[in-house]
Structure 1
Amino acid sequence: MKKLSGILSIILSVGLLAGCGSAGTNSSAPAAGGDTKTEEIKELKIGATAGPYSDMVTKAIKPIMEKQGYKIEVIEFSDYVQPNRALANGDLQANLFQHKIYLDNFAKENKLELTDLISVPTAPMGLYSKKFKSLDEIADGSTVAVANDPTNLARTLGVLEDAGLIKVKEGIDPLRVSEKDVQDNPKNLKLQPIEAGQLPRAVDSVDISLVPGNFALAAKMNLLDALQLEDMHDDYRNRVVVNTSEVEKQFVKDLKAAVESDEFEKIIDEQFQGFGKPAWMK
C-alpha cells in the first residue's frame, strides 16, 4: 500500500507540473475575442474601378509597397457597389474608387465599418466645348449639359461659378448647391440635365458640357483640353479606404506612407497630368 501510495503521489505531481506547463503556454495566447499577435500581412488585394484609379494603384502604389516586401494584387471592378462589399467581407484589404460623400452614405446605408485612410489626386470635372476656345467666347444663351444627379450638379455649378459664368447665393453649402441657388446668370446659360455618363458625348451636340473626370478619361478625353478645370472640394477627392478594424495594422500604416511619399507624387506628376491634388499634398 505504501508503494502504491508513492506511485500515485508521483503521478499526481507530474500531472500538476504538466498542467502548469500547459497554463504557461496558453498564457501567451490571446483570450477568445481578443487581439491576436499574428504574422504581419504581406499579401494585399486592393480593389479599384477599371480606369485611372486601377492604374493609380498599379503604377503609383504597388511598386512602392512591393519595395517593402508586400505582394500586391489589383482587383478591378466595373461598379461602385462591389468594391465596398468585398472590402467589408475581407476579400480585399483596401480599395480606391470613391469620394468621402459616397463612402459615408454607402457605409451608413449598408451598416459597414469602413474608414477613409487618405485622399489621393483625383481627376477633376472640366468645362469642355468644341464650339468655344476660351471662356470669353461663350455666347449669350449657350446650352450647357450638366449631370442630372445632385452631387455632380453641385460640382457643375461650382465650376461655372469659378469660371465667372454664374453667381450662387452666398452662404449656400457648396456640396449641396442646386439650380434654385443660382442668383445671377448674366449670359442666360441654359442648363440641360442628362445622365453623367452621357456628358462626354454631349460635347459634340451642345455648346458646353461639364464632364466629371472619370467619365472624361473613360472617353479618352484630355483633361488639359478643358476651358476650366474644377477647383475640387476635398470631400470629392477619391480615397484609399480600409476596414475600420484594421486601421492600426502595419500594412495600413505602410499603405498610407506609400501615398504620402515623394515617389508617389513624382509618378502622379508624370503619368496623371491634370489630376487635382488634395490639400495635404499642397
Structure 2
Amino acid sequence: MKNILHFRRAAFLLLFALLAALLTGCADKPEEGRVVKLGVTGAVYEELWRPTVEALAAEGITLELVQFSDFALPNNALNSGDIQMNAFQHHAYFDNDKSTNGYDISVLCDTFVITMNLFSKHYDSPADIPEGGKVAVPNDATNYGRALLLLQDAGLLTLGDYTGTPTTADITSSKVSLVEVNASMTYQYVDDEEIAAAVVNGNYAASYGVDPNTAICYEDVDLTDKSFVCVIAVKSADADDEVYRKVAETFCSDATNQLFDEKYKGFFVPAWDAE
C-alpha cells in the first residue's frame, strides 16, 4: 500500500512538473495562437506581405490582411478596434488624418516609399503635353499635394511659397488642367482619350501590372524627408505590444527587400534603415 502511495505521489509530482514546464513555455511565447488583422489598400499588398504572413505562421501568429477600397477607412477601423494594425499610408497622410479625426493611433515603424510617377499613353514626354491638357491626380489632400510637386518637377505647373503640403491655392501658373479622382482609379484614366496623363501611386500602378519604366516623369525620392515615407500604424495603447513589433520586424527584412528588387523594380524603396 505504501509503495502505491509513493508511486501516486511521484506520478502527481511528475505531472505537475510537466504542466509547469508547459505553462512556462507558453509564457515565453505569448505570440503563439495570436490572430492579427492588418488593414491594407490594394491587391499588391497581398504579394508584399506574403513572405511575412508565411514567416509568422511558422511561429504561431496568424496575420490576416483586411482590404479597404478607400484611404479614408483603415485608420477609422484601427481606431475603433476592428483591426489591430494598418499599413497603407505615409507620414503626411497619417498626420493629417489623425489630426482631422482625433484618432488615438501611433506610428509603429517606417517601411518604404511608394513612388508616385506620371504616366501617359498619348505623349512620350511632359513637354509634349499641350497647353490645357488634362492630367488626372489623386483627390485626397496629401497625395494631391504630392502630385503637385511631381507636376512642378515635370515643368507642367509652378508653385509659390507654401508650408507643409502644397494645395491648389499655391499654384501660381499651370500649363495643364487638373482632374481630381480617387487615388485608386488614376491609372484607369491613362487610356482615356480626354486625359493627357495621370499621376499614379506606385502601389496602384503595380496592381495593374504597370512597368515602372513606362512613366514619362519620375518622382525624386528623398528618404531624409519623412513626409512620404510609409508606415505601419497601431493604436497608441498597443505601441509596445511584442507581437505587433514582431510583425513589423518580420516585414522590414531582406525577404521583403528582395521582393521589391525582383518583382517591383522602381515602385517601392525600402526606408526602414534610413536615418
Q: TM (normalized to structure 2)?
A: 0.72
Contact 2:90 2:229 in 1 (8 A): yes
Matches within 5 A, 1:17-28: none
Question: What does the per-residue CA deviation read over 1:254-279, in whole Å, with 9 as the maximum and x for residues that have no partner?
Answer: 22322332222112222333323254
**Bigger radius of gyration among the two:** 1
Amino acid at match of 1:177: P
Return the alpha-carbon distance in structure 1 between the equivalents of residues 185 and 69 of structure 2: 17
Q: Of the candidates 83, 100, 103, which is equivalent to residue 94 of structure 2?
A: 103
Q: CA deviation at 1:75?
A: 2.6
**How many Å apart are 1:158 and its aligned residue?**
0.8
Aligned partner of residue 114 in structure 2, secondary structure: coil
Q: Deviations over 1:215-264 (max 9, x none)?
A: 43454433332112323563233321112212222213322322332222
Match of 1:244 among 236, 239, 245: 236
1:182 is matched by which residue type in structure 2?
A: I
Q: Summarize the Cα distance change of 1:80–1:135 in structure 2 as closer, same or farther, 3 Å threshold.
A: closer
CA distance in 2 between counterparts of 1:89 and 1:79 reads 17
The DSSP-based 3-state class of the residue aligned with 1:102 is: helix
Task: Please give the secondary structure, in 2, of the residue aligned with 1:265.
Answer: helix
Alpha-carbon distance in structure 1 between the residues aligned to 2:104 and 2:28:
22
Q: Relative to structure 2, which stretch is displaced further, 92-101 or 145-154?
A: 145-154
RMSD (Å), alpha carbons? 3.1
> Is 1:177 equivalent to 2:166 in the alignment?
yes
Structure 1: tracts of 5 or more residues without a match: 1-36
Moved more, 110-119 or 213-222: 213-222
Q: Does 1:53 align with 2:45?
A: yes
Contact 2:42/2:207 (8 A) holds in 1: no
User: Shift in Å at residue 159 of structure 1?
Assistant: 0.7
Amino acid corresponding to residue 44 of structure 2 in structure 1:
P
Unaligned runs of 5+ in 2: 1-26
- Hey, what's the Cα distance between the residues in 2 that align with 1:105 and 1:200? 25
Between the aligned partners of 1:144 and 1:83, the Cα distance in structure 2 is 28
Equivalences, count? 240
Runs (4+) of structure 1 exceeding 6 A deviation are none
Separation of aligned partners in 2, 1:210 and 1:180: 19
* Match 2:218 to one of 217, 221, 229: 229
How far apart are residue 51 of structure 1 and its match?
1.3
* Separation in structure 1 between the aligned mates of residue 31 and residue 245 of structure 2, nearest angstrom: 12
**Preserved CA contact (<8 Å) 1:234 1:278:** no
Inter-CA distance 100–220: structure 2 relative to 1 (3 Å threshold):
same
Instruction: Please name the residue that 2:122 is paired with.
Output: 131
Give percent identity, aligned residues only. Answer: 27
- SS at 1:117's partner residue? strand
Cα 1:130–1:258, aligned 2, differ >3 Å: closer, same or farther?
same
CA gap of 1:142–1:266, structure 2 versus 1, over 3 A, is same
Name the TM-score, length of structure 1 as normaliser.
0.70
Residues 129 and 208 of structure 1 are in contact (CA less than 8 Å); yes or no, is this contact kept in structure 2? Answer: yes
Deviations 1:43-90 (A, max 9, x none): 232232341223322x24223333444332223333345533443344
The letter for the 2-side match of 1:253 is R
Q: Is this contact kept in 1: 2:157–2:176, CA < 8 A?
A: no
